[in-house]
Amino acid sequence: MNLLSDSISLRLPSDTLKKLDELAERERKDRSTMIRELLDAGIQEKDLDYVVEKYRKGQVTSWKAAQIAGVSLWRFLEVLRERNVLIQYSAQDLEEDLKALRETRT
């Protein structure tokens, strides 16, 4: 977690706030921690939505999509399976993935 952080304020409907407090209590966390965790999870989910769509359109390889989303290749392949996305892999994809792998090791 980043030690330097900014504060924000937001307005929530009372039913959302009630559910948030119930969740925080159930997990024995304070409200701020619960909000941060939920935002982190939501941001990661949005990142996955974005890269899955780019992958579907053939705009990125599975390796590049995993890198963009900040997940392992295996996790990304699992997401594709969960979302019933056909895994497409060509010789060119292999070349691009190998190049990306080499770049991460240097």
- Answer whether residue 35 is part of any domain: yes
- Answer whether residue 9 is part of any domain: no
- Answer whether residue 2 is part of any domain: no
**End-to-end alpha carbon distance in the chain:** 26
What was the pLDDT predicted at 65?
94
- Answer whether residue 18 is part of any domain: yes
- Answer whether residue 97 is part of any domain: yes
CA-wise closest residue to 93 among 57, 61, 51: 61
Cβ-Cβ contacts under 8 Å for 89 (sequence gap 6 or more): 61, 62
Q: How many domains does the chain have?
A: 1
- Answer whether residue 8 is part of any domain: no
Would you tell me how many other CB atoms lie within 10 Å of the CB of residue 4?
4
- Answer whether residue 53 is part of any domain: yes
- Answer whether residue 7 is part of any domain: no
pLDDT tens digit sequence for 8-49? 898 999 999 999 999 999 999 999 999 999 999 999 999 999
pTM score, whole prediction: 0.73
| Domain around 97 | 14-105
pLDDT tens digit sequence for 46-102? 999 999 999 999 999 888 999 999 999 999 999 999 999 998 877 887 787 788 778
